[in-house]
């Protein structure tokens, strides 16, 4: 059976591969383009539902970069569901509190409870981890699962689909069949722009720089088991322990006019110090401790109206990149993964309908989170009289009440609509 072409991603070898491909009895598995956190979580969630998948990763080897990642109860609950929480537990931190400080003076504004308080409230812990540790645990679980196949060095160049199946071919002319294609290929998703929505991310005018500092190199002020946010006009800093408490991840967000697509551009240590607003002495000391910094431009993209086309769907940052002011980007991909697996399990004989159901379930939730993240960034970066009012609210509002405002976020469970 020939497959009608959708939109080629360009490459004559790939086009020929689609034309000559034969499914080899594998057309009932789900193809997943992207082997990051979202793609691997989707494969594991599908496997729990008895659905086979094939993860197609463009890189020749897994080398997940990045620094810290925060996993609220809505994320750690999913890791428990996927069966990887125990393997990750030794590599995470479980902070006792979220401390907010004025960046210029160092004054404490509030200290909101995490630790046992949030675990009791939501039935799952709040964890902080190194991104590479989370990715490694997911990759190990995927390799060990007989329902999951992995192909590295596979760059999708051609996609075609008919009423029964979808075919994806690579630059080298290798082709794979499946019942569906899930594009989990990140914020710069070529599959999104060529097949579903041609909107492209826009530079936000801000960049983030990250580093990881060994515990023995830390000033004494930074050995507390907590997440700390320092607020400035048009900037903020966040840090927390990772790697089982042996390191501290630090992220600095500030105005920047340099725009590129590199996730890990090296910057000189003095660049960070020179571009920071005037800040409290302890924070200055911490920034000087960082051995190396990596930078990435923060991209903004409205949540597309459509995430699906027939047997193809978007997931994670490919569908809805979220600004990093709410610590929910990776967790939204985890939520997508279990929602997608549930939708396909409920409608195994009608994949296009299942994918549309997945979009209907997820889009309102993601739009709300994206809006909240942008609002958080606005609040973090206030200056002048507005910052004074913000600081007064943080000082005098009960910390538990401040944290309870996020029950709608952290209380989410698979099957919830929003």
Same domain membership, residue 291 and residue 162: no
Is the residue at 418 inside a domain?
no
Q: What is the mean pLDDT of the chain?
A: 91
Q: What pLDDT is stored for residue 16 in this prediction?
A: 54
- Predicted model pTM: 0.93
For residues 123 and 217, membership in a common domain is answered with: yes
* Structural domains counted in the chain: 2
Could you tell me the pLDDT band of residue 20, with boundaries at 50, 70 and 90?
A: low
CATH number at residue 119: 3.30.9.30
Catalytic residues: 240
Tell whether 275 and 148 lie within a shared domain.
no
335, 246: one domain: no
Residue 6 in domain: no
Q: Has residue 389 got a pLDDT over 60?
A: yes
Residue 250 included in any domain: yes
Residue 416 lies inside a defined structural domain of this protein: no
Spatial neighbors of 52 by CB under 8 A, at least 6 apart, are 28, 29, 30, 46, 147, 148, 149
Helix (H, G, I), strand (E, B) or coil at 388: helix
Express each pLDDT in 145-168 by its tens digit: 999 999 999 998 899 998 899 999
In whole angstroms, how far apart are CA 190 and each of 208, 337, 377? 23, 20, 28
Residue % of the chain over a pLDDT of 70: 92
Find, among 40, 74, 36, 70, the residue nearest to 54 by Cα: 40
- Mean pLDDT of all residues in 97-125: 97
- Per-residue confidence (pLDDT) for residue 28, from 0 to 100: 86
CA pair distance 237, 229, nearest whole angstrom:
6
173 lies in the same domain as 56: yes
The tokens for 33 are 């383009």
Q: Which uninterrupted H or E stretch holds 249? A: strand 247-255
Q: Are 34 and 329 a contacting pair, CB within 8 Å?
A: no
- The angle at the Cα of 338, spanning 191 to 9, to the nearest 5 degrees, equals 5
Give the range of the structural domain holding residue 310, as residue numbers without chain letter. Answer: 12-64+133-200+302-377
Please report, rounded to a whole number, the percentage of residues in the chain having pLDDT higher than 90: 75
Higher pLDDT: 198 or 403? It is 403
- Say if residues 31 and 168 touch (Cβ distance below 8 Å): yes
The three-class DSSP label of residue 96 is coil
CA atoms of 258 and 207, how far apart (whole Å): 8
Task: In whole angstroms, give the CA distance from residue 414 to residue 77.
Answer: 9
Residues 208 and 288 in one domain: yes
Average pLDDT over residues 400-404: 97
**Mean pLDDT of the region 363-380:** 96
**Residue 151 and residue 142 in contact, taking contact as beta carbons nearer than 8 Å:** no
pLDDT band at 263 (very low <50, low <70, confident <90, very high): confident
Does the pLDDT of residue 384 top 90, yes or no? yes
- Per-residue pLDDT at 61: 85
Query: In the β-sheet with 308-309, what is the strand arrangement from edge to edge?
Result: 148-152, 53-57, 30-33, 180-183, 312-314, 308-309
Give me the pLDDT at residue 220, please. 85
């Amino acid at each position: 059976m020939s497959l009608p072409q959708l939109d080629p991603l360009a490459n004559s070898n790939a086009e020929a591969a689609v034309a000559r491909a034969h499914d080899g009895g594998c057309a009932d598995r789900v193809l997943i383009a992207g082997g990051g956190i979202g793609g691997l979580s989707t494969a594991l969630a599908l496997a729990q539902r008895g659905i086979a998948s094939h993860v197609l990763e463009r890189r020749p080897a897994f080398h997940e970069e990045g620094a810290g990642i925060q996993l609220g109860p809505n994320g750690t609950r999913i890791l428990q569901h996927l069966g990887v929480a125990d393997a990750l537990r030794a590599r995470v931190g479980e902070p006792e509190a979220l401390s907010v400080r004025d960046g210029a003076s160092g004054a404490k504004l509030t200290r909101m409870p995490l630790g046992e308080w949030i675990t009791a409230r939501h039935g799952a812990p709040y964890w902080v981890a190194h991104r590479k540790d989370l990715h490694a645990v997911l990759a190990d679980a995927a390799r060990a699962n007989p329902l999951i196949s992995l192909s590295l060095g596979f760059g999708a160049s051609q996609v075609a689909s008919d009423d029964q199946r979808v075919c994806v071919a690579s630059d080298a002319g290798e082709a794979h069949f499946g019942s569906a294609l899930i594009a989990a290929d990140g914020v710069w998703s070529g599959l999104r722009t060529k097949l579903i929505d041609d909107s492209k991310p826009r530079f936000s005018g801000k960049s983030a720089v990250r580093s990881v500092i060994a515990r023995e190199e830390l000033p004494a002020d930074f050995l507390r088991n907590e997440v700390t946010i320092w607020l400035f006009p048009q900037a903020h800093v966040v840090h927390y322990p990772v790697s089982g408490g042996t390191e501290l991840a630090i992220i600095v967000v500030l105005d920047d006019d340099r725009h590129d697509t590199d996730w890990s551009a090296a910057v000189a240590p003095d660049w960070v110090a020179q571009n920071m607003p005037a800040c409290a002495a302890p924070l200055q000391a911490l920034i000087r401790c960082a051995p190396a910094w990596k930078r990435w431009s923060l991209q903004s993209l409205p949540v597309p109206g459509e995430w699906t086309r027939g047997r193809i769907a978007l997931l994670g940052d490919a569908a809805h990149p979220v600004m990093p002011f709410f610590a929910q980007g990776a967790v939204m991909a985890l939520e997508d993964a279990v929602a997608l697996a549930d939708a396909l399990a409920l409608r195994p004989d009608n994949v296009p309908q299942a994918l549309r159901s997945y979009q209907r379930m997820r889009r309102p939730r993601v739009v709300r989170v994206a809006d909240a993240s942008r609002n958080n960034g606005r609040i973090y970066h206030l200056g002048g009289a507005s910052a004074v009012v913000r600081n007064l609210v943080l000082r005098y509002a009960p910390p538990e009440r401040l944290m309870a405002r996020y029950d709608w976020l952290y209380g989410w469970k698979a099957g919830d609509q929003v």
